[in-house]
Structure 1
Amino acid sequence: MIRRTAFRALTTVAVTAAVALPLTQGAQAAAPDTTAPATAATAATAAPINADDDNPFRWMELDGLRADFQFMCPAGHCAGFWSLVLTDNAAQQKFEGGKFFVYAPATGEFSFFLDTDIAVRTVDHSSQVRLVDTDFMRSHPRVEVRYGDPDDPDRARVVASAATLM
């Protein structure tokens, strides 16, 4: 029970930090995604920005991943944020019998994905792969998205990677 409560608290803090990080790095509220249905609330609170200026992943070598700028509008206040998602080629591979997870092979540490607005350690589908933990990526020279059993990461398949260019 205590472990579950602690995990929920940690998850809440992680999601808050992930969403707030672009804001503290100078990102501004932005226009909603034109592929998503717009509402009066999102249109009224959004202002366009040049998303390319704040891409925290532009100095990384990406293999099977691409930087993606998204908008989240919790409680009617829209905020833009950067994340890494699988490229179309990586996402269209066949995946069965495992889960996606983020792993730093040099240290054996795990990070999280942002699933809608909740930080989760694993996801079931390639379309759910969304990395937002820029602190984790900057503190590890190589981060990998793996597919398989997170309890046995060495046997899991490497689907994509991000390496920090020094």
Structure 2
Amino acid sequence: MTILVDADACPVKDEVYRVAERFKAEVRVVSNSPFRVPQDPRIRRVVVSDGFDAADDWIAEHANPRSVVITADILLAERCLAAGAQVLAHNGKPFDAASIGGAVATRAIMADLRAGMDGITGGPPPFSKADRSRFLQALDLVLTRLQRS
């Protein structure tokens, strides 16, 4: 099992490391810029070029049915689902075949709305303890299912 983390804006990297340790899962922390990761042979930092979507492309190319992708990027989630990977958002919300179409459509509508607002946006809600807890539960559940398959 491998956990692929879209790491540049990921608020749950430490949680991923802890859960991966329990399951003895490999972790690939993918980003455009280097930052510290724990000294562990199962955890590897992957620094890609700063080209547009370079990290997303690397993750999508390495996603497979034995991987879990951690991302808030809906288009990356769609690509990884097509490769057979399990996909979780940072708040623990799973992306799946039933929900990804609606998520992509909503993303497109919101992009159009934001374009018409001249830069006036509220942004996402703050990341909460409840989000962190939901993420931990969801990651544990997904890895348990993968381990049994």
Same fold, TM exceeding 0.5? no
Name the TM-score, length of structure 2 as normaliser: 0.27
Structure ranking higher in helix proportion: 2
Structure ranking higher in strand proportion: 1
Greater radius of gyration (CA): 1
Name the TM-score, length of structure 1 as normaliser: 0.26
